[in-house]
Amino acid sequence: MMVAGIGCRKGVSVEDVLAAIETALEAHGLAMTALSALATAVLKKDEEAIAAAGRALNLPVIVVDDAALQAAAPDTLSHSDLSQTLAGTPSVSEASALAVAGTGAKLLGPRTVLGPVTCAIAISGDAP
């Protein structure tokens, strides 16, 4: 399973979200078709652009609860003071991706920041 975790400022466009996902995947030599799901934090559950990106890519958008975000936080690679304050994790995108990818999941690298959107790619622990 491969998951794109998404973090963003309020009111971003679906184009911003899709561009961040594409940029993060390209950084790892991957195509959009490699993704199994999108993930984000509860505080972003009403962000229409994330839901719209899921619809555009025909992927589920999984909203990660605060406890799961905090459980994944020690495995994040990036640190945002704002994310830590608002979501209780140093990186919403990284922690979301890790939480959804499951036990033993690994980030392919630190989050990609593209304007107002961050995207991190995680793979499940059972991936080769």
pTM comes to 0.93
Cα three-residue angle 88-92-95, rounded to 5 degrees: 90
> If you write DSSP's letter for every residue of 40-101 in order, what string do you get?
EEGGGTT-HHHHHHHHHHT--EEEEPHHHHHHHGGG-S---HHHHHHHSSS-HHHHHHHHHH
For 20-49, how does the pLDDT look when each residue is reduced to its tens digit (9 = 90+)? 999 999 999 999 999 999 999 999 999 999
Whether residue 64 has pLDDT greater than 60: yes
pLDDT per position as a tens digit, 83-121: 888 888 889 999 999 999 998 999 999 999 999 999 999
In the chain, what are the helix, strand and coil shares in percent, each to the nearest 5?
A: 45, 20, 35
Domains recognised in the chain with CATH numbers: 2-123 (3.30.420.180)
